[in-house]
Amino acid sequence: MTSIIDIAAASGLNRRDAMRLSAAGVGACSFSGWLPVLAQAEAKLKSNAKACIVLYMDGGPSHKDTFDLKPESQGAGEFKPIGTSATGVAISEHLPNLAKQMHRIALLRGMSTPEGAHSRAKYMLHTGYREGQGGIQYPSLGSIVSSEIGKPDLAIPNFVCVGNRAYGAAYLGPRHQPLVVNDPSKGVENLKTALGMGQFDKRVGLLEQMEAGFRKEYPVGAGVDHQVNYQRAVTMMKSREAAAFDLSKESEAIVAKYGSGKFAQGCLMARRLVETGVKFVEVNLGGWDTHENNFERVKNLSATIDKPIAALLDDLSSRGMLDSTLVVWMGDFGRTPKINQRGEKPGRDHYPRAWTSFMAGGGVKGGQVIGRTDKEGGTVEDRPISVLDFMATVCTLMGIDHTKQIQTSIGRPIRIVDKGAKLIEVC
């Protein structure tokens, strides 16, 4: 008699998934007809992605003034749509360089999420879980990538966050905490010792003896965490890979291509880090909370991101790295379709019900739009994308099983992405 595992193998599903179905009581006969369909759906999202760069727009960018303009709507605003390198896809006139890269970008206009407060929305977009859910802290996507596919022997952290706050590793432990670079023009400060290496090594050895004695007498987690952190720091200080943080090593032409400012420098640093072997880099840009003066501020912010992101995509492509690097652009949520008149200059308020993010590289098919909002940009009419869908898709593109359960330090199993996710067919 043919087993479900045999059928799964013939259909392209792995043994783990087959065993999971079998354990759930699924019979071979009942699944023999559509197991191949499941396998084909998973296969569509397999890519060559080996690293991920997240460009996070802190505060929540207005979708109607960036990537989902509605020129005929009541709250259309002041911006005009322009054509792009992707047939039939129009974006804001203030993103002319990104318009030329749209053939590499998949716009996700169907984002629809439940959290409308900044702190809760940012937490959910970074972890996939609602803040307070289950009474525990959850690891961020960067820490998950570091834990699942990071290089254990890499001399610098597998997760680097450039600018602003970073969400941490939670129960995944200190080894997967992000290294935060506040100012990319300065790189990682205090990376070089003022001592000779011989004297430096002696001091490190003395510290290790003192720490070992302390940990023996007080075997607590904080002692181990401290040991991991300073060992990471010492290893990085002595490594060649640390040069990735030094932007002065780039040519003037490349620096000019990305432009000036911290966000542009962060995008350039992200490329250098990925090229060195770092698995996950997040670059933050704040200022998108445009309750007042929305149009002037979004115009300026669009100018801030337009040249650097276009340069990043083009640079990755010219170096043969785009297919292996997934680039994600997202924020807290969108902004209200209607314009408020509370301040001196009109603005838009928080709006998680419908908004836009995008993916590029990492095997993602560019030049496409997934999801559609209504004529006002207020409701998703086609292919709503939840946080679970988004997180599961990113994990799958990175070769991570989003259904995997991780054991916490107290033995509690937690899924990487909670149940209910539907993968976005971006490939």
pLDDT in tens, 188-226: 876 665 545 555 554 545 555 556 655 556 555 555 555
How confident is the model at residue 32, as a pLDDT? 46
Residue 160 CA, chain-centre distance (Å), reads 11
Q: Does domain 51-184+246-386 have CATH number 3.30.519?
A: no
How confident is the model at residue 220, as a pLDDT? 52
Most confident region among 8-17, 38-47, 144-153, 196-205 by mean pLDDT: 144-153
**Taking 50 as the threshold, does the pLDDT of residue 11 lie above it?**
no
How confident is the model at residue 34, as a pLDDT? 43
Question: Which has more confidence, 379 or 217?
Answer: 379
User: What number is the average pLDDT over the span 133-138?
Assistant: 94
Phi, psi at 363, each rounded to 5°: 90, -5
For residue 165, name the pLDDT band (cuts at 50, 70, 90): confident
Phi, psi at 369, each rounded to 5°: -120, 125
How confident is the model at residue 233, as a pLDDT? 61
How confident is the model at residue 9, as a pLDDT? 44
How confident is the model at residue 198, as a pLDDT? 57
Calculate the average pLDDT of the chain: 87
For residue 287, name the pLDDT band (cuts at 50, 70, 90): very high
How confident is the model at residue 206, as a pLDDT? 54
For residue 236, name the pLDDT band (cuts at 50, 70, 90): low
Q: Please name every residue paired with 282 in a beta bridge, in sequence order, or none if there are none.
A: 54, 161
**Domain residue ranges in the chain:** 1-44, 51-184+246-386, 188-244
**Taking 70 as the threshold, does the pLDDT of residue 345 lie above it?**
yes
**Taking 50 as the threshold, does the pLDDT of residue 5 lie above it?**
no
Closest by Cα among 360, 287, 352 to 329: 360
How confident is the model at residue 47, as a pLDDT? 73
User: Which tens digits make up the pLDDT trace of 24-77?
Assistant: 444 444 444 444 444 455 556 777 799 999 999 999 999 999 999 999 999 999
How confident is the model at residue 196, as a pLDDT? 55
How confident is the model at residue 146, as a pLDDT? 98
User: What number is the average pLDDT over the span 355-383?
Assistant: 98
User: What number is the average pLDDT over the span 2-23?
Assistant: 46
Question: Which has more confidence, 174 or 68?
Answer: 68
Residue 239 CA, chain-centre distance (Å), reads 26
Q: For the chain, give the percent of residues with pLDDT over 70.
A: 78
**Contact of 94 with 80, CB cutoff 8 Å:** no
